A and B are shown apart, each in its own frame.
Chain A
Amino acid sequence: MADDDRAGSGPAGHRPAIGLVQREIVLVIVLAVAAAAIFGMTRSLAEWSDRTADAAADEWHRRGRAVVESGRVNEGIALLRQAVSHDRLNADYTLSLVRALTRPERDDTAWTEARRLLVQLREREPDRPEINLRLARLAATAGDTDETIRYYNHAMYGLVPDDPEYDRRRIRVELATFLLDQGDRARALGELFALAPDVPDDAAEHFELGALFLRAGEARSALAEFQDALRLAPGDWRAAAGAGDAALATGAFAQAERHLQDAVRRGATEPAVRQRLALVRLVRSLNPLSPGLVSATRVTRVRGGLTWAAERLRGCAPPDDDPLLSELVRMSREPLAVLRESDALVEGIALIGRAVDAMTSRCAERDPAEAAWQAIDTAAGVPAG
């Protein structure tokens, strides 16, 4: 401010006052009133301009989406950018642009732009699930596990207007799948156990969850989910096959055979189902721990397994001094009384299991009995449930 502060000698100080009030005061008041009038007019124009810009943005958005869907992605992205530039606060426009930018054929630059747009959008709408979900997917593509989990969690607990349970479930399924892809079995199981109580009576949902449990190595829960799916859709051979696989993994070989037989009977077209049925049958014919066997049969089966493993390792060019082979031979010659002991049976199965592991690296060709004995070994190690 200029600071001349001459009381009573202002710009009008040399001129007489007009009436009660200094002339300049009247003029300043007139200017203020004029400013108020112009303000009102400008506000009207601003509102009209906003409406026009919104309409233009809406039109660009509509055209942009149509053009992207017609396959002219670059052209559509340009239109969507126009829409976003004219109305940055509209999350729908930005999300449409992001969807176009993150199409599989787009390059890294487009994905980077999409991520930036989403981050900006998230600052305004931190709880919107689609924003977090897309950010999670972008982070997953970039291999950033922590960011991915963070965004998935934000997406799950964000506000969903329509069907929150369904959306949250889908996001959790996606997160669990991502974690399994990353090999993070423990955190994946945590998500799956959190998901299980919320699954509705829908065969597909139970089947999906069963498959994820099976991937995570939680065969008992997987079996329960597959059985629920079978209950809801008894004719579904996939559910039966899944239940068979889960039962196989738990060591319930009789149940596995039953389910796999069901699957085949119900029209399973995948050769893998028949192969697993054959495997289960082989397991049941070899398993020393099958229920209902007399102890002599159990010992015979263990001895048979030990002898088979020793022969196979010999056939696969073992090292000169192979302690595993020596152990197999030694145990196969143990007296009957010793092998009858249940600990000795389990010990024998475990030894065969170690031999099968060694075969994997030493033997060029696979023997169906390897997979069978592996299943038997795994089942023997699983505590009864």
Chain B
Amino acid sequence: MKMRPHWPARWLLGPGEWRLRDSQLFLALTIVIGVLAGLSAVLFALSIDAAGYFFFGLAPGPARVILVPTLVSLLSGILLATWFNDARGSGVPQTKTAYHLRQGVIRPRVPIGKFITGVLCIGSGHSMGREGPSVQIGAGLASAVGQWLKLPPDRVKSLVPVGASAALAAAFNTPVAAVLFALEEIIADLNAPLLGSTVIASVAAVIVARSLLGNDPLFHVPEYELQHPLELLAYVVLGIVGGLASVAFGKGLLRARGYFLGLPAWSRTWQPAVGGLAIGLILVVFPEVAGVGYTHIDQALNGGLVLSAMVVLAVVKGGATIVSYSTGNAGGIFAPSLFLGAMVGGAVGYAVQWLAPMVGVPVGEPGAYALVGMGTLFAGIIRAPLTSVFMIFEITQDYQIFVPLMVANMISLFISRRYQKVSIYEALLAQDGVHLPGPLVRQSVGGWRAGDVMRTDVDSWFVAPSTPVGEALAAAETAGTTCLLTGRRDAVDGLVARDVLVRAIAEGRTADPVAALAADDWAHVHADHAIDVVLERFSRNQSGLLLVLSRANVRQVEGVITQETLLGVFGAKRMSRETRP
């Protein structure tokens, strides 16, 4: 029963109740989340600076430089292992996972944990960026607000990129690039209907950030311009070098992280401290690679670094970032990508300056190449070319740099894609057992999906890995299946065909554990895959069985598809596009 308003409310509001329409509420929330995410990003950046001053002072001795990252990483390692496991690393992959696979639900403790561990890790000198964590904190805040207000799931999901773009806009003072990043990287759809919301939130966040930190740009860049049309060739070279450097960095990071992920689970608590010790030792010799490194990017852009310093810093920064990230510390690769790009670009710029007099073509300063290099490595590593172009444009506010930037970016992106098929964030998620839906899945609407044709009553198909082969065959007979799965439904270990079990018994291996015969690679699809993907993978698969795995955990079996189930479902439902419900 609706309550009748008292007279003051009637006088103020008229005869009706004070209610907001859905779109009005979403608009109000967008602005509030923009402000909150902007504040969180500013607070995060200030806290990192404060932590840095607190930990190191102005001129720390070598012992302090080694001990601070080691001990602080030990503390953050315990926090990450105990309470904030989702706060490791960048935060962008986790945000993408939350958006695509968890209906935008991020636990409220995640942004809090990310804030604390991010401040500890980056403030203690780890070579990591603050933008990725800012994105996760902003997205987490937005999700928490949506959950707190008990918004419908699709609205909670919609708020995640809104919070992410707002936080990034405030962190970088680049509202347009932040919107593009949310669309290009988080939503992975430039035509997403959330454009208006992300723009509003980004603007709100930038206003907050500028009112707190001033309107000073992140980097101070002199005006650069293309000196001669032939100079574009030099930027082509920069694109090639940047692309190769992106691939080297990405592969190095994934390989090192794969190594640490392969170590026993108990070691995860201590891995950040190992990384902290390594970083401390690096910082004794190369203090320039500590933290986000904006100071030295600025120097590279303004011609304050010589060639040898740029080459050395590029190599050391790349290595230090790989160490910090792969050992499970909290921090991103956004700023390190820009740092590497500035150094690689500046080094190419010096080489071009040295060669130019021989060719007789005027060329720009190394700072111009450092600037384009930032975008080039960002495009190559993060694989967000539009974000990269607009970010550099917003930083420089110089239209002249657009053309060389686009040329170098596209070449870098092409090379990066050629030698590493998936983007760094998706590869990192794959290492964590998460498969995000690809663009085809996201874009296809209508039609049958794997989830529509899978069989879900497959608990009887699972046997323990230690089950003797004889018992396993009996279980297969009982279940009436041609294949058995070892492990649990949420942690599948292997797959063994009935024929293999029969052959093993014939060889007298009846008492052997079934795990000894199980294969650990199996064809799979995800429930949202279109039916043509299912058929295509089915036709390539010898076992006659296709597992349907969770995207959020690729060891969790949601169902199976066999030839029989496929035909049965088709027959039973008289499947056709016309009759599809």
Contacts and interface: CB of A to CB of B under 8 A. Distances in A.
Contacts of B145: 31
A17 B19 contact: yes
Interface in A1-28: 1-13, 15-17, 19-22, 24-25, 27-28
A68 to B, nearest CB: 15
A2 B3 contact: no
B46 A46 contact: yes
A31 B22 contact: no
A43 B298 CA distance: 25
Binding site of B, secondary structure by majority: helix, strand, loop or mixed? helix
Nearest to A19: B3
Interface stretch (A108-116, A212-220, A232-240, A290-298): A108-116
Interface stretch (A53-61, A184-192, A343-351): A53-61
Contacts of A10: 19-22, 24-25
Interface in A22-38: 22, 24-25, 27-28, 31-32, 34-35, 38
A241 interface: no
B149 A11 contact: yes
Interface residues of A, number: 55
A45 interface: yes
Interface stretch (B28-36, B464-472, B544-552): B28-36
Contact of B49 (A16, A49, A120): A49
Contact of A42 (B43, B58, B148, B365): B43
Nearest to A46: B212
B220 A120 contact: yes
Nearest to B23: A5
Given A8-B21, A10-B20, A88 B193 contact: no
Interface residues of B, number: 61
B3 A46 contact: no
Nearest to A77: B304
A4 B27 CA distance: 12
Nearest to B57: A56
Interface string A308-347: 0000000000000000000000000000000000000000
A11 B147 CA distance: 11
Interface of A: 1-13, 15-17, 19-22, 24-25, 27-28, 31-32, 34-35, 38-39, 41-43, 45-46, 48-49, 52-53, 56, 59-60, 81-82, 85-86, 88-89, 109, 112-113, 116-117, 119-120
Given A1-B194, A53-B49, A109-B306, 12 more contacts: A1-B193, A2-B194, A5-B21, A6-B21, A17-B3, A20-B13, A25-B19, A38-B36, A45-B46, A46-B46, A49-B50, A52-B49
Closest 9 pairs between A and B when the two form their complex, measured CB to CB: A10-B22, A1-B196, A85-B295, A113-B303, A11-B151, A21-B18, A22-B19, A5-B23, A20-B9
Interface of B: 1-3, 5-6, 9, 13, 17-30, 32, 35-36, 39, 42-43, 46-47, 49-50, 53, 58, 145, 148-152, 155, 158, 193-194, 196-197, 200, 208, 212-213, 216, 220, 222, 295, 298-299, 302-304, 306, 365, 367
